[in-house]
Structure 1
Amino acid sequence: MTYELYIHVPFCLRRCGYCDFNTYTAVDLGAGASRGNYANMVIREMGLVREWQETHGVAEPPVDTVFFGGGTPTILSADDLVAMLDAIRSTWGVAPDAEITTEANPDTVNEYYINRLAEGGFTRISFGMQSAVPHVLKTLDRTHTPENVVAGVKAADKAGLRSSVDLIYGAPGESLDDWRTSVRTAIDLGVNHISAYALTVEPTTKMGRRIAAGTLPRPDDDDEAAKYEIADDLLTAAGLSWYEVSNWAKPGYESRHNLGYWRNVDWAGLGPGAHSHYNAVSSGGDAAAHALRAWDIAHPRLWGVALNEGRIPWAGSEEITAGENLEELIMLGLRIREGLDLDRINRVIVSARESDGSTSLRPVDAARLRPMADEGLVVIETDSTGRSRVVPTRRGRLLNDAVIERVFDLAGV
């Protein structure tokens, strides 16, 4: 059994032009949700979540992975991050080999900060590099320089922390050569994990408004596909293998936390807007346990009000039906290198037919997937025990949404 914890830190020094995450630049957002008091508020939420778990028959083991995301977690002091990690230890326990990660903007950390994280039990740091090209960083409204990234990775190496860097491709004005420069620079850092995400333009962001007004060009799908292939070629040649559509790592250095999401394990999300997922929650009495997802109140002040009143700060929750669970398993399985386990989804299909009366659902076998394999979208791998997995090819990764929809159709979802 695997249990993960995600802590959302909603503060940023400034909002990047492309960002629509639940983040805020104010120092104090009210009801105790301020930068200086944030760790105390999250620690209070831990106690309420643990109490809820015990009441609903959720017996979680020591935490396997912890991930601090944002926003900018490293806008808080290193002592605050360590204090929250210490509180996790006292609330749930932390597994001896746990992976403990924080995201970091490269210009918010220095050698002292990173050493404090290492001393406090962190094992990994994920730097928001985004690009190695100054004009692309400017378009993205990033405040750091390429030199900040180099200094951060060197400090992490010296402290014994594993490093990852995030890249974004498809920014307006970014050429193919610009992108090659960014990928090669990331590889030359010597990190063991690199993420590369296509820029998503949201209409409510500063960049979205500029594109709508015609002052910035709109990202081009063909350009982004070409950049994905460039990244895959360069990263593979450097010894980093893809293990999820947007993630590459040296063997053994995959993000265990992110793999947990894609494997649909239990996780608790703490902080404004964070989501939680549980595979077996008791409703009491003779009712069978069910899967549940929940989400925290998004605005930090209202989140803080709930905590101050002793309420678990959820905006809502919902039971995950067997049919919805099937959709998630298919969607997540077709994003990862280990692939979609056909035996597993066919067991879920049988369960969904029995529990939901979903007569439209039908098993998916290798023969029915053969046309997709013939088109070069997937490969079907069978192990020594006869278990089959469906793995997307590079073309299938580029057309991932379409691949998922076709498998949905085959399963009758």
Structure 2
Amino acid sequence: MPASTKTDPLTDDPRAPGFGIYVHWPFCQSKCPYCDFNSHVVASVDQARWAAALVRELEHMRELTGPRRVRSIFFGGGTPSLMEVATVEAVLARIHALWQVDEDVEVTLEANPTSVEAARFRGYASAGVNRLSLGVQSLDDRELKFLGRLHTADEALGAIALARNTFPRLSFDLIYARPGQTRDAWERELRAALAHAADHLSLYQLTIEPDTAFARLYEKGAFALPAEEDAAALYELTGDICADAGLAAYEVSNYAKPGAECRHNLVYWRYGDYAGVGPGAHGRIGAGRAHLATRTWRAPGQWIEAVEAGGHGLEASEEIAPPEQGDEMMLMGLRLEEGVSLARYAKLAGRALDETRIAGLVTDGLLLRDGERVRTTAKGRLVLNALLAQLLS
């Protein structure tokens, strides 16, 4: 493997981005109507073949990254809880062999309540998974049916209880701002969820993504989403209720008790490096003086054939120009409550942000400034895209 001086020394900086590894498992039992992720429904999967391919692509990524210290590993999808324990074991074993791995590395695996099995959960935990992320989405059976989910609310609660008894850390997702959802209905559902939560929740407003079943239904007028002001009110209510329960809004859609933030997602939001393997996985890798954006083939068949033929499934590996690096850092970092460093932006982008624009956004109540750091206000987070467009133009 090529020599590299790029390492991750221990640091006392709590905001250091770190280095993570993302593993994409593209298979699901069904395709949810709101989902635009790279997920596919298939009759069967050759798990041994897929484990071998993931391991082989990890080896290629090690050649690109050089020696790094792994802070987090994330199995996403798709539905990674459809992976056999042996597949997860093979991937984790190879990561430990290829890189230096933190003793307290965070290893997250996404799961759906319909694919929950106690024996498999114990197997994942034995393999090294220490954090589960459950795709619950709702605790209302009628709403689950609308969202295309295969589980019931009772099954979701059973999966949450099993996960809490198996893994040191647990998060689960809910989708709100659904058609016809009232403030009172969402408050009841969220408070019920908090009664079962551990230390982290991901709470997303329903959005209509292009080329999804919901997009087609929405265009036909089959349903309507809450008005913008109603959605904003639900967002503010969500933050208040979670704060009362001790879960701070550390990111636009993520709430956690102190110290329970998702370390892997913090790698993204703090604009750290990460290697992405599996179909459609993206990566950001520092390679010497260059900073690379990597992307693998989305189609599972195309990806695995490419890996078996050439050792990796990369469709593209492109150098990111300095101005784009700065913009990417700002796009990700302003999602965080902690905000971003203006000095780091200037170092990455090769230029400083316009002080007049920053001052204007502060005056408008959209940004807060503390020395060389800026962060969004609650008002700014509601119009984050417009804020970014003004700041970075």
Tell me whether the two structures share a fold, i.e. TM-score over 0.5.
yes
- The reply on whether 1:376 has 2:365 as its aligned counterpart is yes
* SS of equivalent to 1:147: helix
* SS of equivalent to 2:223: coil
Q: Shift in Å at residue 408 of structure 1?
A: 1.0
Match of 1:407 in 2: 391
Match of 2:295 in 1: 295
- 2:300 aligned partner, one-letter code: P
Counterpart-to-counterpart distance in 2, 1:37 and 1:98: 27
Q: Shift in Å at residue 98 of structure 1?
A: 0.2
Closer, same or farther: CA 203–345 of 1 in aligned 2, 3 Å = closer
CA contact (8 A) 2:132 2:167 kept: no
CA contact (8 A) 2:135 2:172 kept: yes
Counterpart-to-counterpart distance in 1, 2:325 and 2:61: 23
- 2:212 aligned partner, one-letter code: T
Match of 1:192 in 2: 199
Q: Shift in Å at residue 201 of structure 1?
A: 0.9
CA contact (8 A) 2:171 2:197 kept: no
Match of 1:318 in 2: 318
Per-residue Cα deviation, 1:304-336 (whole angstroms, up to 9, x for no partner): 111121242111121100110111122122111
CA contact (8 A) 1:118 1:161 kept: no
Match of 1:41 in 2: 53
- 1:27 aligned partner, one-letter code: A
Q: Shift in Å at residue 247 of structure 1?
A: 0.8
CA contact (8 A) 2:36 2:210 kept: no
Matches within 5 A, 1:14-33: 14-28=30-44
Match of 1:4 in 2: 20
Match of 2:71 in 1: 64
CA contact (8 A) 1:11 1:35 kept: no
CA RMSD of aligned residues (A): 1.9
Counterpart-to-counterpart distance in 2, 1:35 and 1:183: 37
- The reply on whether 1:99 has 2:106 as its aligned counterpart is yes
- 2:364 aligned partner, one-letter code: E
Matches within 5 A, 1:1-400: 1=8, 2-28=18-44, 34-35=46-47, 37-50=49-62, 52-53=63-64, 58-279=65-286, 281-282=287-288, 289-349=289-349, 352=350, 362-365=352-355, 369-382=358-371, 388-400=372-384
CA contact (8 A) 1:266 1:277 kept: yes
Counterpart-to-counterpart distance in 2, 1:308 and 1:62: 27
Match of 1:357 in 2: none
Counterpart-to-counterpart distance in 1, 2:116 and 2:56: 26
* SS of equivalent to 1:99: strand
* SS of equivalent to 2:163: helix
Closer, same or farther: CA 342–364 of 1 in aligned 2, 3 Å = farther
Q: Which moved more, 1:90-99 or 1:299-308?
A: 90-99
* SS of equivalent to 1:159: coil
| Aligned residue-pair number | 377
Q: TM-score, normalised by structure 2?
A: 0.91
CA contact (8 A) 1:378 1:393 kept: yes
Q: Shift in Å at residue 36 of structure 1?
A: 5.7
Q: Which moved more, 1:294-303 or 1:88-97?
A: 88-97
Counterpart-to-counterpart distance in 2, 1:48 and 1:137: 40
Q: Shift in Å at residue 92 of structure 1?
A: 2.0
Q: Shift in Å at residue 72 of structure 1?
A: 0.3
Match of 1:358 in 2: none
Counterpart-to-counterpart distance in 1, 2:264 and 2:300: 25
Q: TM-score, normalised by structure 1?
A: 0.86
Gaps of 5+ in 1: 283-288, 353-360, 383-387
CA contact (8 A) 1:36 1:76 kept: no
Counterpart-to-counterpart distance in 1, 2:364 and 2:246: 27
